[in-house]
Each structure stands twice: as C-alpha cells, then as structure tokens.
Amino acid sequence: MKTIRLKNMKIYAYHGVNNHEKKFGAEFQIDLELTYNNKSFISDKLKDVINYEELYVDVENCVKENKFNLIEALAEKISNDIMLKYTVVESSVVRVRKPFAPIKGIFDNIEFEIVKKRNDYE
C-alpha cells in the first residue's frame, strides 16, 4: 500500500453556524491522507499516480463551492468526493480544523476527522 498526505491545506471559506461566520468567513485547515495500491513507483509516470496538484484543487473547490454549518458535514463531503473520483483509493482520512472557532475557551483549534474505506462505497 502507498500513502499520499496533503497536510495543513489552508483555505478561506464560509462555513459555520452563526451569521458572522457565514458573512465574513474564516480559515479552515484540511489534512488529507489517501492509501492506494498501484504500479506508480514502477512506471515513474505522472499518469500512473494521483496528481497532488489536482487533488489539492479538488479539495479547495469542494471547500470553497459548498457552504455547511458544521465541519463534520464539510469533512464528509470532501471524503465522499475524493473516494468517488479516485477509484484507486482504498481508504481516506480527512481532518478539518477550525482554528478560530467562535467559542469561549483557550484552544489551538477544533478538529473533526472522518475515515472512509473503499467498501463503504460498494
């Protein structure tokens, strides 16, 4: 098995429960981890691997083009979109962080993680 990780993608978007979040937006941080099995390291050809830039753009578009109240729903959408498009992926882990969540308290960020397996889609 092979693993690709895109860590700490920072994307400005308009997700949240309260009106301030929906109007002014905030930074969201996303980690994506995909495991797959193919011959990419044997062929050394870009066409045989998951293109990192394309993957980043797919995540960025998903985050920017949709609006959710909850980061849980956003993580679910990212995960589903990736698993449906990249059929060689056996499992995915998506983490969505909201470093400036409007709640009382001292914290680095709020994070939600979702794990999906290929057999979740069969």
What is the average pLDDT value for the chain, to the nearest integer?
A: 93
Q: What is the pLDDT averaged over residues 82-94?
A: 96
Instruction: Give the separation between CA 17 and CA 4, rounded to whole angstroms.
Output: 32
> Catalytic residues, which ones?
98
Number of domains into which the chain is organized: 1
The residue among 65, 59, 40, 42 whose CA lies nearest residue 50 is 40
The answer on pLDDT for 115 being more than 60 is yes
Edge-first strand listing for the sheet containing 26-36: 2-13, 26-36, 89-98, 110-117
DSSP notation for 15-68: --SSHHHHHH-EEEEEEEEEEE--SHHHH--GGGS--HHHHHHHHHHHHHH---
Distance CA 40, CA 86 (A): 14
Q: What confidence tens digit (pLDDT) does each residue in 22-39 have? A: 999 999 999 999 999 876
CATH number for the domain harbouring residue 24: 3.30.1130.10
Give the model's pLDDT for residue 42.
67
Residues of the domain holding 9: 2-121
Does the pLDDT of residue 47 top 80, yes or no?
no
